[in-house]
Structure 1
Amino acid sequence: MELTRRWRGRREGADDGAGRHSCGAATQPAEKVEKGPGRYAFLPWLLMGLGAFSNIIHGRSGNPWLAGAGLLAFNSLYVSVVFAAFSPRRRDTRYPLYALAALAAVTFAIALGFGGEWFLFFPLLSMASGTVRAIRGKPLGIWLIALSGTAGFLSGWHDATPWGSFGIGYGTFLSGMVTATVLSLFDTIQQLRATRQELARSAVEKERLRFSRDLHDLLGHTLSVVVVKAEAVRRLAPRNLDAALAQAADIEAVGRQALTEIREAVSGYREGSLATELDRARSALDGAGIEVVVRRAGPPLPPQAEALLGWVVREGVTNTVRHSGATRCEIDVHADGDRVRLTITDDGHGPVSSGASDAGGTTAPPGAVPGAVGGTGLIGLTERLAAAGGTLRSGPDGRRGFRVTAELPVGAGDLADTEE
């Protein structure tokens, strides 16, 4: 337990350190790029209204009080639209649209009422439109085309200057389109960054799940075999020393093989062998006093199928030895050109939920080790086989016994029947 806690602490510390290292080096410069322009970046553009303000000061706009009120209303609505478009609480509501509609009404009113420099407020209206998320995309393009065309026409009609009319129309369209494009680009970058982080977290979780399944499958079966062999040594030692020594030698061999598998698992090169697992299953069941029959029919299997079925044999036999209280176990492997089917059947009580009878549980047989029905081993195997296009079913076999059935798709091959 102490070694397990130390190892877990080192692993979590390494994960945290790696996460801080990988994120810390890449996130800080990325945030400066992905942050994008904020709401205050659009306020200096209000200086385009200095010409209109100058007209008010010099009395060239007719009624200065009305012109001043119009300028104040435009600036206030412009700031309201921009701030609402960048507000996390308001940007996805209808408030920016209502404020933009009011801004458009004020823009048309002051441009038609005063003319001249006041038409420069149309590009500002277009820029404010580009900040509103609700109309980005196709609605924004239609709106900008209509707005720029109208602004150019009104400017030419009011002042009779064709080049000024073209400049107002072109500036109106370009300011809104560039604003929307830039903001959409930064929104996309932010979404990609969030997706990348989510994928990284998902990859870490999948790797931890894979490691936990491998650890369970490796050590659970091995320790069960060691316990069964040790019990056999204890029973045989008083009356048959040679048999007890043979069981002790098996314990040594199982331990050495487990060390090899753990080293290979850590290195990432572990490959399961179905034939090896069948031999180990026969040895484990014999040591537990369970009669075993192994049958295999079909062509050679691909390495991935061999590895997956090897895990099924390991887990199924471990459950039989630990939980079932069975006296007989049959393992059948049948493959054809398309699929392979593995069946493990025993005549015991199946997995048990506790050592005593309870509601919904099964009474543990004498000598069975309590465990969860359909524990983490079978759940993990179900996930593994599902990822490879296979299935895993487990449950009672008729009136007595327990059956585990695994099916996997395989490639075509020459059939070769063997009996083990």
Structure 2
Amino acid sequence: MRLLPKSKDLGWVPYMWLIYLCGMPATLVLSKASPLQWALNLAGILVFLALYFRAHWVEGRSLMWIIAAMTLLGVAFVPINPGGVSYFIYAGSFAGRAGAPRVGVRILAALVVVIAIETRVFHLTPYFWFPAVLFTLMIGAVGIHFAERHRDNQKLTRAQEEVERMAKVAERERIARDLHDVLGHTLSLIILKSQLAARLSEKDPQRAAREIQDVERISRDALAQVRSTIQGYHSRSLAAEAEQAKNALHAVGVQVECDIGTTGLPAAQEGVLALALREAVTNVIRHASATTCRLSLQQTNGSWRLQIKDDGCGTPAPEGMGLTGMRQRVEALGGNLQREVAGGTTLTIILPAVTQ
């Protein structure tokens, strides 16, 4: 059974504090106490030790009861052994852990009152009450100070742990969003090209072979993008993403009008727009049943405006994970995302222009 809880802050210090108990037997030796007095004092010390070690396991109201019990030991033993003043000092040393600093101050004030009453009732000399009050207040004040520091350190530790937990959650959410956007588009393109290669395998073997080569290239590109996603960065430019979007749309028979070139955007903004374009084109391929699609990027009135417009079915639908993730990325950079459904679907992403 452990006497003290596991704590780096405690160490051997609680055992060192027990040196103040030496005053009890020393006084008995000097006064040539009787066997009965020795027995009573040893019993008191055993009760105190049980309270002392228990005090390191509890806080708040439970600790206040232990402080009260130590005070009663002092009241009971001081008349027969002046060394019993140690019990008041120990009670004061735990005042800081009983609650807020004001609670500790009240406990110390109560101890001083008890010592004063004891002095008055038993006509104790200044040799008793002066060191009793001095050491109780001094050690109690130090205890209050260090207890408050310990509480502040605990709050700081909990805050740091919460920040780390939130950072881990945010990183998991980022990876989930990015993997959805990266793989959703790429896997759709792989499926389409694989189906096309299967249909062309007998009619046009050479073209089917080219489609299979494209599948291999796209798969390798997807693997590289997954690795970069997990590492936390994306190196694909918006122009390169637009080129892949055109190829993907052409593969499913959608006519494309593209007005996206080299932008000179900051990396963070270009990465967000590239992922937004990928997700939007993936949705066009999967759900729109469109025949034409227009991709455009314009800089107007201090902002960049990316628009993806198709002539598909334009059926209103709740936002899925991809669109939600897209909106979160855009809003994180101070932009906004607008989705209009009328004679097709128009997705508009607006980001404020930022100087690199």
TM-score with structure 1 setting the length: 0.63
- Which amino acid in 1 is paired with 2:322? G
Residue by residue over 1:171-202, the C-alpha shift from the partner in whole angstroms, topping out at 9 and shown as x without a partner, is 11232233444555556556655655555555
Asked if residue 96 in structure 1 is aligned to residue 63 in structure 2, the reply is yes
Q: Is the 8 A contact 1:153 1:165 kept in 2?
A: no
Q: For 1:329 and 1:144, how far apart are their aligned partners in 2?
A: 79
Q: Is the 8 A contact 2:182 2:225 kept in 1?
A: yes
Asked if residue 408 in structure 1 is aligned to residue 351 in structure 2, the reply is yes
Q: For 2:155 and 2:108, how far apart are their aligned partners in 1?
A: 26
Q: For 1:75 and 1:177, how far apart are their aligned partners in 2?
A: 26
Q: Which residue of 2 aligns with 1:218?
A: 182
Asked if residue 384 in structure 1 is aligned to residue 329 in structure 2, the reply is yes
Asked if residue 129 in structure 1 is aligned to residue 74 in structure 2, the reply is no
Change (3 A) 1:121 1:258: closer
Q: For 2:31 and 2:345, how far apart are their aligned partners in 1?
A: 93
Q: Which residue of 2 aligns with 1:50?
A: 25
Q: Is the 8 A contact 1:119 1:168 kept in 2?
A: yes
In the TM superposition, residue 397 of structure 1 has moved relative to its aligned partner by 0.8
Q: Is the 8 A contact 1:78 1:125 kept in 2?
A: no
Q: For 2:86 and 2:215, how far apart are their aligned partners in 1?
A: 89
1:196-207 equivalences under 5 Å are 199-207=163-171
Q: Is the 8 A contact 1:74 1:103 kept in 2?
A: no
Aligned to 2:278, which of 292, 306, 314?
314
Q: Is the 8 A contact 1:324 1:349 kept in 2?
A: yes
- Which amino acid in 2 is paired with 1:380? G
TM-score with structure 2 setting the length: 0.72
Q: For 1:250 and 1:117, how far apart are their aligned partners in 2?
A: 92
Secondary structure, aligned partner of 2:236: coil
Q: Is the 8 A contact 2:242 2:260 kept in 1?
A: no
In the TM superposition, residue 252 of structure 1 has moved relative to its aligned partner by 5.6
Q: For 1:229 and 1:285, how far apart are their aligned partners in 2?
A: 11
Change (3 A) 1:319 1:33: same
In the TM superposition, residue 126 of structure 1 has moved relative to its aligned partner by 0.8
The two structures, once aligned, show a CA RMSD in angstroms of: 4.7
Residue by residue over 1:67-104, the C-alpha shift from the partner in whole angstroms, topping out at 9 and shown as x without a partner, is 988996797478447625513xxx34x33324434544
Asked if residue 397 in structure 1 is aligned to residue 335 in structure 2, the reply is no
Q: For 2:125 and 2:278, how far apart are their aligned partners in 1?
A: 90
Secondary structure, aligned partner of 2:306: strand
- Which amino acid in 2 is paired with 1:314? R
In the TM superposition, residue 306 of structure 1 has moved relative to its aligned partner by 0.6
Secondary structure, aligned partner of 1:270: coil
- Which amino acid in 1 is paired with 2:275? W
Q: Is the 8 A contact 1:392 1:406 kept in 2?
A: yes
In the TM superposition, residue 280 of structure 1 has moved relative to its aligned partner by 1.6
Q: Is the 8 A contact 1:46 1:75 kept in 2?
A: no
Q: Is the 8 A contact 1:149 1:169 kept in 2?
A: no
Change (3 A) 1:81 1:33: closer
Change (3 A) 1:52 1:72: farther
Residue by residue over 1:343-363, the C-alpha shift from the partner in whole angstroms, topping out at 9 and shown as x without a partner, is 3333434689xxxxxxxxx8x
Q: Which residue of 1 aligns with 2:3?
A: none
